Amino acid sequence: MRHPSVSLKPARFLCAFLLLAWLALLTGCWLDGPQSTFDVKGPVARAQLDVFMVTVYVTAFIFVVVGSVLAFATLRFKARSTADEQAEPPPQSHGNFLAEISLVSASVLCLVIIAFPTLKNIWFTYDVPEEQRTSAYEITATGYQWWFRFEYPGEQINGVGPLVTGNELVIPASRPVRINLRTVDVIHSFWVPKLAGKVDMIPNRANHLWLRADEPGYYYGQCAEFCGDSHAIMRFRVIALPAQEFAAWLANQEQPARAVTPAVMAAAGDRPHAVFASFKTAGGGAGDALSGSPEFDTNPFAAWKEKQVADPALENPVLIAEGRRLFQQKTCFVCHTIRGHEGIGVTGPDLTHVGARTTIAAGTLENTPPRMYDWIANPNYFKPGNKMYNGGYTDPATGQQLINLNDAEVNALVAYLQSLK
Ligand code: HEC
Ligand SMILES: [Cu+2]
């Protein structure tokens, strides 16, 4: 006897699958991930979703109509007996003016229905609407293989130039933000699915986009144009803050890097080094797994807020001072800027306030001491081919380590960088 499921026709499987997929879509269980374009949080993303949905409705309508006619014809006119099969085909005709005109008009109508919102939203998403332009905040985002640099042309720091940060873009909420898009190397693409996107960052071309976050929050961004080895983990975050908190954040960022002064050292007294025994994880420096997305204990926005404040009780000034010294000695400073301290490099992310970020390595790892340890000990494990690795760590040809760091040194560097709030 045949097993009942064997007799199920493939068509039935297909139907069942489509039905389940449709149910899943309807109940929304696939649609609220951190990078979902269906869970929109701003007017630009909403306009893009609207165009998408209009297209979905129109094409779904076409699918149902054409599908029904096809199903009807297939069932109604199928051969029911051998006689049917052997019979002459019915008289053939060619061309029916009425049918053709109606089909052409119906298609044109469908396209017009799609074209109206599409054209309207192309204008809308292109630039900040005229009436909001004066209140728009301007930022320049630059793509690097494989991280993002953010510059605030409106915030000039005396004798330095505009404020620069890396990988975490902090913006004012409920206010249009106009983002200039640049790249220093290949084509990248700037995409924050819940807010807006995506627009390419093209060499020698001044692109831009605009977005607005309806509410304060923590949003996920991603490079959306294949750009080499670590393209898939070229991520970033957007943190939207209420006006006052944004102003406070700017004021803090404009400060030079936090220095653990002798006064702080005195206050700390003779705290034992043991508290900071090692940031090294059991995995052995390289981490146990390629952590795809950082998991926060709390929600990421709360985690971000916690990161903004230093807790001197958890800091070891001696270790921090040692880390600052090593940052020069191990040549980290040639690629990274730490404004006010020794770092002056521009080929890597600005680290002036790196301790206040929730992620490192362009949104790849959560910014905790153990994860930072893992990153500094072996950056190429997490981001194959990254420029910190190739430029500063290991000779790609021979595999020989160019900067040798032992555990104690990595610990000190981590303590130092984490103190930069
Ligand atoms: C040859 C240039 C170069 C040198 C030298 C270098 N780095 Fe980097 N560093 C980079 C680049 C490029 C990145 C970005 C990597 C990425 O995310 O693709 C980076 C990323 C980082 C990050 C993560 C920052 C963030 O916000 O994502 C930290 C922390 C860091 N480096 C620390 C160090 C330390 C400590 C040293 C010295 C031991 C060092 N770097 C030496 C180029 C360099
Ligand atoms: Cu990219």
CA 388–ligand 1 middle distance (angstroms): 5
CB 386 within 8 A of CB 380: yes
Lowest mean pLDDT among 19-28, 65-74, 95-104: 19-28
pLDDT band at 33 (very low <50, low <70, confident <90, very high): confident
Beta carbons within 8 Å of 7's beta carbon, 6+ residues apart: none
Percent residues over pLDDT 90 in the chain = 60
Q: Give pLDDT, residue 287.
A: 40
CA 362–ligand 1 middle distance (angstroms): 10
Mean pLDDT of 279-291: 48
Q: Give pLDDT, residue 267.
A: 57
CB 241 within 8 A of CB 172: yes
Residue 284 clears pLDDT 60, i.e. is over it = no
Q: Give pLDDT, residue 261.
A: 66
Residue 8 clears pLDDT 80, i.e. is over it = no
Each residue's pLDDT tens digit, 296-313: 666 889 999 999 998 888
Each residue's pLDDT tens digit, 308-354: 998 888 888 888 988 999 999 988 999 999 999 988 999 999 999 99
Lowest mean pLDDT among 88-92, 133-137, 183-187, 322-326: 88-92
Residues with CB under 6 A from ligand 1: 146-147, 166-167, 230, 330-332, 334-336, 347-349, 354, 357, 360-362, 372, 375-376, 383, 386-388, 391-392, 403, 413, 417
Q: Give pLDDT, residue 291.
A: 44
pTM: 0.86
Each residue's pLDDT tens digit, 39-66: 999 999 999 999 999 999 999 999 999 9
CA 232–ligand 1 middle distance (angstroms): 18
Mean pLDDT of 386-399: 78
